[in-house]
Amino acid sequence: MDKRRVLKLMLATTLGTGAVGWLAGCSREEKVSFQGVDVTGAEYARDFSLPDANGQLRTLKDFAGKVVVVFFGYTQCPDVCPTTLQELAEVKQLLGADGERLQAIFVSLDPERDTPEMLKAYMGNFDPSFVALRGTPEQTAAIAKDFKIFYKKVEGQTPQTYTLDHSAGSYVYDPAGRLRVYERYGSGPQVVVSDVRTLLSEKS
């Protein structure tokens, strides 16, 4: 075999290998990077079904097309709950026009004291678009278990002055209703804004 033919074969092989590599690179989807904890594909917390403060049953499908952030707490919480809801209100403002595509959901862990009227007023302190959900004690226990939420009553000086120890993170769903991110308490609004923007920019 002459040198010219050898060179042609080598060149063809090199170009062919490069083309395969290039095509493989093009077909490979880029992995999305979140600042919170990526829980894409989780087998828990896939949906919820609880009444809101107006008695209307709500599920994730009601908020299709929006990024949904679900947080569990109670209205008499002295620190974690108001801090988180205030941060979510700030997140919505920082998103600008995209803030209309963010839906915060507050699930009460204290249905005994969190009446519908109280929940409406509480949400109004942060953002009137925020939705509060309240089930029976049995429904509350069931959804907390599904979302892997810990909560425990801590007795106070009187039967009505108890507090609740509870998990403090938030669950973030993409516009298609899939659980994608777990935001740790205290991460700050900029972290959540970044993850929400990432989810809103994804192609479905």
pLDDT tens-digit map of 52-91: 999 999 999 999 999 999 999 999 999 999 999 999 999 9
pTM listed for this prediction = 0.84
Question: Domain with 65 in it: what CATH number?
Answer: 3.40.30.10
- Measure the CA–CA gap between 112 and 119, rounded to whole angstroms: 12
- Measure the CA–CA gap between 148 and 167, rounded to whole angstroms: 9
pLDDT of residue 94: 98
Q: Are residues 21 and 104 in the same domain?
A: no
Number of structural domains (the chain) is: 2
Domain containing 3 equals 1-30
Cβ atoms 132, 119 nearer than 8 A: yes
Reported as a pLDDT band with limits 50, 70 and 90, residue 32 is confident
Flag whether pLDDT at 26 surpasses 80. Answer: no
Q: Are residues 72 and 3 in the same domain?
A: no
- Measure the CA–CA gap between 145 and 142, rounded to whole angstroms: 5
- Measure the CA–CA gap between 23 and 144, rounded to whole angstroms: 46
Within 10 angstroms of residue 204's Cβ, the number of other Cβ atoms is: 7
Q: Are residues 151 and 52 in the same domain?
A: yes
- Measure the CA–CA gap between 132 and 51, rounded to whole angstroms: 9
Q: Are residues 8 and 53 in the same domain?
A: no
pLDDT of residue 204: 63
Per-residue model confidence as pLDDT tens digits over 110-134? 999 999 999 999 999 999 999 999 9
Q: Are residues 41 and 80 in the same domain?
A: yes
Q: Are residues 14 and 45 in the same domain?
A: no
Q: Are residues 19 and 51 in the same domain?
A: no
Cβ within 8 Å of residue 74, ≥6 positions away:
81, 108, 109, 110, 113, 114, 164, 166
Query: CA dist 70 to 9, 31, 57, 88, 177, Å?
Result: 60, 24, 16, 10, 12
Give the CA count within 13 Å in the CB-facing half-sphere of 156: 9
Q: Are residues 16 and 87 in the same domain?
A: no
